[in-house]
């Protein structure tokens, strides 16, 4: 099953496009958020993978504010990294 969700932010102007794919093995959620806050444009992209019980097994978050980019990863329950580009 695949579902596409599109919505706007409540606190500040933003748009999010989220795609949810569900299989017997688990789910994959990918999304992109683009918005404007205090005269600055931002972008956030995330990927979440779950097992069949909807327990998170992986996530990645990429955020961009002007020219600064941060990437967050998590593998399993304990390992998290953050890289600033």
End-to-end CA distance of the chain: 35
pLDDT band at 70 (very low <50, low <70, confident <90, very high): low
Q: What is the pLDDT of residues 34-61, one digit of tens each?
A: 998 888 888 999 999 999 999 988 888 8
The neighbouring-strand residues paired with 59 are: 48, 74
Instruction: Output the pLDDT for position 63.
Output: 84
| Token couple for 42 | 């931002």
Please tell me the distance from the alpha carbon of residue 28 to that of residue 23, in angstroms, as a whole number.
9
More confident residue, 3 or 12: 3
Instruction: Output the pLDDT for position 26.
Output: 95
Whether the predicted pLDDT of 71 surpasses 70: no
């Amino acid at each position: 099953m695949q579902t596409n969700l599109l919505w706007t932010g409540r606190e500040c102007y933003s748009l999010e496009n989220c795609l949810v794919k569900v299989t017997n093995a688990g789910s994959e959620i990918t999304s992109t958020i683009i918005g404007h806050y205090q005269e600055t444009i931002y972008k956030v992209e995330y990927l979440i993978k779950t097992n069949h019980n909807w327990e998170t097994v992986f996530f990645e978050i990429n955020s961009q504010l002007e020219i600064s980019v941060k990437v967050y990863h998590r593998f399993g329950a304990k390992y998290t990294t953050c890289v600033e580009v």
